Structure formats: structure tokens, C-alpha cells
Structure 1
Amino acid sequence: MPAMRKKFSARMDALDCAAFRRKSRSMKTDWTLFGNTRDEEIPLFKSALLIALDEYPDLDTQYYEDVCDNWRASIAPQVERATSPIVALQALNRFLFDELGFSGNDDDYYDPRNSYINDVFERRLGIPISLAVMQMEVARRLGMQLEGVAFPGHFLVRLPVQGGVMVLDPYQRGRSLDVDELRQRAQPHVGSEDLGDQQLLRLLDPASHRAILTRMLRNLRSVYMERNDLERALRCADRLLTVDPTLAAEYRERARLYQSLGYSKGVVADLSQYLSLAPDADDSATVHQMLVDAQRGLVQTRIN
């Protein structure tokens, strides 16, 4: 670890934070599309492929666009004959999960390949959110209004239907979930009080594309941190803040990665930004002390 920290810190000092981010963005597709783009204009599937390009820089993204088009063409006749949106969705699920064989990866849930959409397509394995992105993209090309749900603990999808919404679990082959099961799943994440109907409905609100992408990147960051692959974790943290630079807590989390990698300049910049965005946060005093310590360390490094 010390050798890796020294190597990383030297490289970062040669660049600076802004230059590092410019370098990581200068790939085949421009990450700056997120800057002034309204959420509804962010292309979810293309953005998921953009995340995959970081790990696979030679990835042919158009190939996966074409695959989706081919799948759409294969299932379109059945969807067009469907007598209701629910029947159409059932036809789509049979195609994706029975014919194509997509399923949740129970054997190795924390394999990072479960989060890269190209690997999900190739291996037919994923986690809830990556399977949801696949399912939502094919549905979108068929004109179906399938939406993501950032449900606590386990990402879901929903289909607006007459009188309400139909909620499904893409990790369980698109199985529909009733109110009792949804309440049971959510209860451990909302405290000891009983989960009311209105609270449950709020949990079932559709997730924005930014929220979906940041959740995907958080998943990847956690996987890489667990594997002690800190540079890949940092890459995910950086992309996360490119997608949504308003997320105060993410500056604090990236600062911790910088700290582990020995990059004091990055620690100071991100902790300062965190305190600027969240001055009244519960941990502001602790973070302020971390900032003072990092500034002191940066000064000592310059003196040495």
C-alpha cells in the first residue's frame, strides 16, 4: 500500500484535480454531456455504456445498440398484438428472461462485471439495477413506459397501469410484487415504525436517470473498495460527481479515497467542497478537523 500511495500521489501531483478529471473524460464519448442536460434528456442506456467504456476503452458501443434493436424487432410482433400494457410486459419478460436467459447472479453477486452493461449482455447475468437498465431499454424501444424505482436495498421497475402501477423485480425474472411483499422488503430500511401507504408510495416514485446512474456507480465503487482496488474505486467516485456534482456526501467519500491513496491536495479540495455544500451536516465538526489535518499534512509535504 505505501508504494501504491507514493506512486499515485506523485502522478496526481503532476496533474492536479482538474487535469486528472479532464484526462479521465477524454475518451470516445464526452462525459460533459451531464453538465447542463436536463434529466429527462440523459440517455440512460448510452450512459451505462459510457460507464463500461472506462473499464473497456475499446468497447464497440454501437454493437450493443444494434443488439437492442434486434431484440426489439424479435419481440415487437408479440407486443403489438398484446391486448393491454400488462400483457405486453409479460411478453417482453418471457423473451428477456426465458428465451434470452437473463437472470440475477446469485453465485457471485459482487462481481464487478454484474454492473457493466456490456458484460450483462454477454453473460446474461447481472444485479437488480443493471438488469433493470437492460429491461427498461428494450421496453423503451418498444414504446413501453417502464420506469426504474430506487427502492431501498433492491432496485425495481414499475409500469404505470390504469388505477396505479405494477411493480416488478428484474432480478427475479421480472416477477411482479404485491403491496404486502413491497412493504415487507422496505420495512428493515425505514426504522421500527410501521410503513404507511403514503410512505410506501413515495418509495415507489420513479427514479431519475441521474439517480440510476449514480446508484450504479456507487455499487461499482463499493465493489472495488471491498477488493482494495482503490484507483478503480476513485474512477467511479469521480464519474459519480460528473453525473451529479450536487451530491455533497460524495465529495467526502472521494476525499477518503484520496486520503487512502496519499493525495492530500485532493483531500483538501473535496473536504472543502463538502463543507461548502453541507455546512450544517451532522459530521461537519469531524470533517472540519479532517480538513485541518489534511491542510497541515499538505503544508508539511511542501516544506519537505
Structure 2
Amino acid sequence: MTLDIIFQRIKDELGKEVYPLKVIKTINKYLFKELGFKGNKDNYYDPDNSYLNQVIDKKTGIPITLSVIYLEIAKRLDFPMVGIGMPGHFLIRPEFENVGIFVDVFNQGEILFKEDCELKLKEIYQQPITLEEHFLTPVSNQQILGRMLTNLKYIYLNRQEYPKMLRIIELLLQLFPNHPLEIRDRGLLYYQLRQWEKATTDLQLYLSILPTAEDAPTIRQILQQMR
């Protein structure tokens, strides 16, 4: 099953009469009821959840990857939607004025209003959180990819799969050249891998960019240990 095939099936189902709620309901019906896509709540931190090819094959993923698939289908349908990078969650919404609805793809395409988004934050963090306006600001494709890669980066860190983590950091640095925190993390990873010369180069570069960073004393101490 490819995105093009999914798109064609949904397009055929939609017919000529197209309006926002009908498009969303039709995508939801085909993706979640007929194909069985779902959020991977049982194994949320499986790296496969962050690779789109695996998500399409297994029909399960995390909020951001399921949302990317949904966004791509909507794009092919000429139904503009945007990603919303809320703290701890990812939503999408139609890119039309005065359409105040959001779609939670991780939860079977649940339709939310602004008030529901605030309740969603409370549910995620287990405490009342004020919904700031910028929480619902659309994010760029670059930001979406960066968030997906960052998810993978920390998954591999927690699994202590350092060579894979290094590859992800390299991709992040291609996406965000000279990002100081990625340079620092690559340096710390080289240090963990006992590649002293590369670690020294990156950590010195980090300090040259952010000499007064909060962790600067710790980084200087690590550099001292490698001399």
C-alpha cells in the first residue's frame, strides 16, 4: 500500500462534493476503519514509529508520523492542512480561515476544538496548563522533520544505540547547520565513543558559539579531561 493508492481510494470515495468536514471524515473512515491505522500506544518508543515507510507498512505510529501521512494525503486531495506542534503532542488542522477545528490523528482522527486542545494538554501533563496561542501556531516542513529526527535521537540515546544516534545528529545538522546544541551533543557522543579528537573539536566549537552557556563549566571540565 502506497500513499498514492490511499489517495486514489479516498478521492474516489469523496466524489465531486468536497467540503472540510466531509474530507476529514472520508480520510478518517478509510485510514482508520478500513485500513486499520492506529496510534502505537503499546510500544510508543519503538524507533519504527518514526520511520514513515515502517508506519505505512505496519499501520501504526506516533502522532507526528501519522500526521505526516494524513497531511500528504490531504495535499494530494488539494485540501490544504498544516501541522500543529503542541508541547508533548502533534495535531493538524485545515488551512482555511475561520475553520476552528483540529484533528488528532493519533486518536483515530478525533476532531477537536481549541478548548479540547487545552484539555488534551492537561491530560498529557496531568496538571492544568494554560493553552498559549503559540502552541497552536502552524509549523514548517523543516520543523516537522526536525521534530521527527529529535524524537529518534532521544530514543536511540535511551537505548544506548550511539552509532544510530550519531547518524541522526548528522541529519539534524544538515537540516539546521551549525546548531550549537546539536554540535554539543555530537561532541558528547564522540566523547562517549572515545573519539577524543572529534569530541574536542565539537565541544570547543560549541563553547566558541555559546561561551556563557549554562553547561559551559561542565563542557570545559570534559575538555580538560581529554588533554
TM-score by length of 1: 0.68
Matched, 1:114 2:46: no
Map of 1:174 onto structure 2: 109
Do 2:101 and 2:114's aligned partners in 1 also have CA atoms closer than 8 Å? no
Map of 1:248 onto structure 2: 180
Structure 2 SS opposite 1:168: strand
How big is the shift at 1:71? 1.5
Give the letter for the 1:218 counterpart.
T
1:86-235 aligned within 5 A: 86-186=21-121, 195=130, 199=132, 201-235=133-167
Structure 2 SS opposite 1:81: coil
Map of 1:300 onto structure 2: none
Give the letter for the 1:144 counterpart.
F
Cα 1:193–1:94 shift into 2, 3 Å:
closer
Q: Distance in 2 between matches of 1:268 and 1:213?
A: 28
Give the letter for the 1:245 counterpart.
P
How big is the shift at 1:275? 2.4
Q: Distance in 2 between matches of 1:111 and 1:278?
A: 34
Matched, 1:69 2:4: yes
Do 1:160 and 1:166's aligned partners in 2 also have CA atoms closer than 8 Å? no
Map of 2:222 onto structure 1: 290
How big is the shift at 1:72? 1.4
Give the letter for the 2:203 counterpart.
L
Give the letter for the 2:182 counterpart.
E
Q: Distance in 1 between matches of 2:128 and 2:47?
A: 35
How big is the shift at 1:179? 2.4
Structure 2 SS opposite 1:262: coil
Structure 1 SS opposite 2:101: strand
Give the letter for the 2:162 counterpart.
L
Cα 1:246–1:186 shift into 2, 3 Å:
farther
Give percent identity, aligned residues only: 34
Structure 1 SS opposite 2:111: strand
Do 1:153 and 1:189's aligned partners in 2 also have CA atoms closer than 8 Å? yes
Do 2:118 and 2:129's aligned partners in 1 also have CA atoms closer than 8 Å? no
Cα 1:287–1:146 shift into 2, 3 Å:
same
Do 1:72 and 1:142's aligned partners in 2 also have CA atoms closer than 8 Å? yes
Q: Distance in 2 between matches of 1:289 and 1:169?
A: 45
How big is the shift at 1:73? 1.3
Q: Which runs of 4+ in 1 moved over 4 A?
A: 187-190
Measured on the aligned residues, the alpha-carbon RMSD in Å equals: 2.3
Number of residues of Structure 1 aligned to a counterpart in Structure 2 = 226
Bigger relative contact order, structure 1 or 2 (CA pairs below 8 A, ≥6 apart): 1
Q: Distance in 2 between matches of 1:142 and 1:69?
A: 11
Structure 2 SS opposite 1:176: strand
Structure 1 gap segments, 5+ residues each? 1-63, 297-304
How big is the shift at 1:293? 3.3
Cα 1:189–1:111 shift into 2, 3 Å:
closer
Larger fraction in helix: 1
Structure 2 SS opposite 1:158: strand
Structure 2 SS opposite 1:195: coil
How big is the shift at 1:235? 0.9
